[in-house]
Structure formats: structure tokens, C-alpha cells
Structure 1
Amino acid sequence: MGLFDFLKGTGKKVFGSEAEASEKIKAEIEKDNPGIKDLNVTYDKGVVSLSGTAASPEAMEKAVLMAGNVHGVSEVKADQLTAPPQTVEVDFYIIQAGDNLSAIAKRVYGNASAYPRIFEANREVIKDPDLIFPGQKIRIPKDVA
């Protein structure tokens, strides 16, 4: 998985100074822990590095997205975050102005009413399916359950 790029000027504001960034980002991930044990977070000039053990590939992806969708983060390095191998194909999508989950589901799955699949795949990243923002990066599982 390695390095992910994010839009530094978008996302949820969780820290006020770089000195508290590592602690605040870690707390943000642990608040809705997607399945990461022994999580360690470091922040340096917009780059977050994650380490620990993920229970699943989805947990790893969600932790990366949770860290990357924080205002002030431009990159997430996850090469020290171990996880089992991915068994399903997943794309990543950056929310555009005017997007909503139904429109994304229509584009990706051909069915607007499949939006709950996107919401469930991003529950830790998207708290409310009606509150997404441009620049936010989310997971799009290829399989439709």
C-alpha cells in the first residue's frame, strides 16, 4: 500500500499545531478504530506515517483514509502498517464538487440505489452519507454485495 497522496487543504480539522498532530490524528483513528492494533502515528510537515497491525486489508485502507482525510495531511505512509493480503478489488475515489453517494454509485455500479455499499465501505471515514466534501478520498469496493 505504501504512500497515498491527499489534498492538504481539505478535510476535518483535528489539530491546531504540528506539535499535537501525531497525538490528535492517532486519537481520531482510534475513536472509530477500524481494526488496528498497536497503532503508532507520526506527523511531519504534512506527512503521516502509520505503523501497527491491521486485522484486515479493509482496516488498513480505512486507517490510511482516516489519517489522510485530516486537514493538513498531504501524504500517508503505511509501509509499516501490516495487514493480510487484499482479496477484493478496491478503487479509491476523490469526491468532486457536486458529488453525492448516489451519483457515485450510479457511475461506479450503474445503480444509484447501491450507495449504501459505498457508505458501509467507508463508515469510519464518512459519518453521514449526506455530508461528504470535495477532496475527500474514499474506498470503492468493486464487488457489489
Structure 2
Amino acid sequence: MGLFDFVSDIGKKLFNKEEDASKAVTEHLAEDNPGVEDVQVTVENGTAKISGVASSAAAIEKAVLMAGNIAGITNVNIDEVRIANGEQVANDDEFYVIQKGDTLWKIADKAYGNGAKYTAIVDANKEVIKDADKIFPGQKIRIPKSL
């Protein structure tokens, strides 16, 4: 399925030592579970390898973003995740890396031609955007194509 790249020195700090990383990232995904049953994460050399059964392609994408937006994670591997209903992993949504000076309003205006549609971006990223006013450069989010 794939390997996704992230910036390792930004994001939520969940662990100090790599030996604590697997447990911390697994608990993080389980806390706000985006739809992946039996989720397990193994972290080694900055790569988070996720396993489990996803309810949809969107659930996998959310799990990837949740793990990848953690400080210390440089890659997320989803080769061990399968989708319960046989749906393909790729869907219409795209990933976007937040740039300095971005706001969700500006991103929505660029993506949809209407900044007020930023709430669709927040809804699609509720696992990684807890507060619409607290996004940061380098953070990776999903931009839903179908509203």
C-alpha cells in the first residue's frame, strides 16, 4: 500500500525514547480511533508501521496523518493494514502540507473557492486538528474533494 513521508521534528510530542514510541503511538491512534480495528503500531528508526483492519480508505488516511504528525515520526508504513470492505486505498482526497502563513480559511479558499468551507477540512481532520486556530507549518492534513 505504501510509505508516507513526514517531517520528524514537528508535531505532537508523545514519546522521549524510541523504546516508548510503539506503545505511545498505538495508544494515540486507539484514543481517537479513525476507524481501524485492532490497530497496532511498531516504531523503528522513525518509521511507524501500522497494522489492523480499516473500515475505509479514509480511515487509513486519518491513521496515517495521526501517526505522521507526531514528533519523531518520519515515515508511516501501511503495508499491514487491510480494508474490511475491499475498497481501494486511494480516494479523491489529497494531502496538503501546511505552510507558514496558512490559515484553514485560506486553504479552503484555494481548494474550494470559498474560505467558509474550512469546516469541511476541520471535519475531515478532526483527529489531527483539535482546534481550528492551532495548525502549524509542516503539519500534513487531508483536503476532501467531495463536500
TM value normalised by structure 2: 0.94
Contact 2:57 / 2:91 at 8 angstroms: preserved in 1?
no
Question: Which residue does 1:112 correspond to in 2?
Answer: 115
| 5+ long unaligned stretches in structure 1 | none
Question: Which residue does 2:28 correspond to in 1?
Answer: 28
Secondary structure at the aligned position of 1:118 is classed as: helix
Question: Which residue does 1:130 correspond to in 2?
Answer: 133
Q: Distance in 1 between the 2:57 and 2:7 partners?
A: 23
Question: Which residue does 1:140 correspond to in 2?
Answer: 143
Q: Hey, which bits of structure 1, 4+ residues long, moved more than 4 A?
A: none
1:102 matched to 2:105: yes
Closer/same/farther in 2, CA of residues 67 and 87 from structure 1, 3 Å limit = closer
**1:16 to partner: Cα distance:** 1.1
Q: Distance in 2 between the 1:108 and 1:73 partners?
A: 27
Contact 1:5 / 1:76 at 8 angstroms: preserved in 2?
yes
2:96 is aligned, of 93, 97, 111, to 93
Q: Distance in 1 between the 2:110 and 2:7 partners?
A: 23
Q: Distance in 2 between the 1:17 and 1:134 partners?
A: 24
Q: In the comparison of the two structures, how many residue pairs are matched?
A: 144
**1:85 to partner: Cα distance:** 2.1
Deviations 1:32-77 (A, max 9, x none): 0011111111001111100110011111100010000000000000
**1:98 to partner: Cα distance:** 0.9
CA RMSD across the alignment: 1.1
Contact 1:48 / 1:67 at 8 angstroms: preserved in 2?
yes
**1:87 to partner: Cα distance:** 7.7
| 5+ long unaligned stretches in structure 2 | none
Identity over the aligned pairs, expressed in percent? 49
Q: Distance in 1 between the 2:75 and 2:10 partners?
A: 12
Question: Which residue does 2:18 correspond to in 1?
Answer: 18
